[in-house]
Amino acid sequence: MEPEVMILLTLFALLVAPGLLIQICLNQRLRIFPIVILSTGLFCVNAYLAHYTGGTKEILWAYIAEYGSLLIWLLGGLKRRVIHAHCVWPLPRPPIFEWLPYLGIASSVGIYLSWAGGYFEVPSDVYEHLSRINYFAHRLEQGVVDIYSPWHLLIAICLVLSNSTLDQVLMMFTALLTTWLVVAFFLIAKEMVSAGCWSRTQVNLFGLITAGVVCLTFGTSVFSFVRYYVFAPAFLTYPIYLYLAVCIGKRLIADDIYTLCKSSEAWLVLIGLPVLYLFHR
């Protein structure tokens, strides 16, 4: 299997699939940020479990056990979710134009990176992050799971499982992580105005304009946050922090603190705050 395909499958298995299954099992509306928060929280638990109980095999067995439990939970609830034998759970089916903003973002990131490229000038912080990733990959090959930086451990796992080196997939990670950050800004902006009276088109347009303005003004020219901090944990923690802040703010405006404490946002905060600390300490 090609290294790029294996990396994509690994990222999906670690950052998407666990949270996706949990949301489906809980019969919740599928949203990207809760999926990522739940998945990263589970990743931290498994990494710490593997670190204190053995090594790389333990993290694999932990995921096998959790995936098995979630699938049993999911299959056990199928009978209650069958509707006229046609649909087992209400997966969203957005119109085709709903995917256009994401395609536009991915295309814009591709054009931008083909012009500016990744930020690998010397000196820069990126080499510190790359050296940490290589260190974690080396330790994984020795059967040891270090946990002082789950972000670098996550990328190192992708390298080890794909049997690749950083120089082979450097631009792939740059494109993936940059696209994720811009999509995250887009989703956060949409979340800010989703409870208003705007149409779906207006909400998407506001999200695209906001994401574009943030990317263009968050830094100076090619020396910008979007380009400089690609391999830093801030690419994951900063969007999660903004998303949690927006969710809490919206809930407090609509309800009181007591209602907030009983809401799903409270659970996301309880999971998200430890994730932010562990990934960015």
pLDDT tens per residue across span 178-198: 999 999 999 999 988 887 778
Residue 106, both tokens: 């991915």
DSSP state of 96: G
State residue 59's pLDDT score.
85
- Residue 273's SS3 state is helix
Q: Considering the chain, what is the average pLDDT of its residues?
A: 84
What residue ranges of the chain have pLDDT lower than 50? 79, 82-91
Question: What pLDDT score was predicted for residue 55?
Answer: 76
Q: What is the pLDDT of residue 70?
A: 85
Beta bridge partners of 220: 223
Q: Supply the pTM of this predicted model.
A: 0.87
Q: What is the pLDDT of residue 19?
A: 92
Tokens of 165: 């080196």
Find, among 82, 50, 94, 78, the residue nearest to 204 by Cα: 94
- Residue-level pLDDT at 261: 64
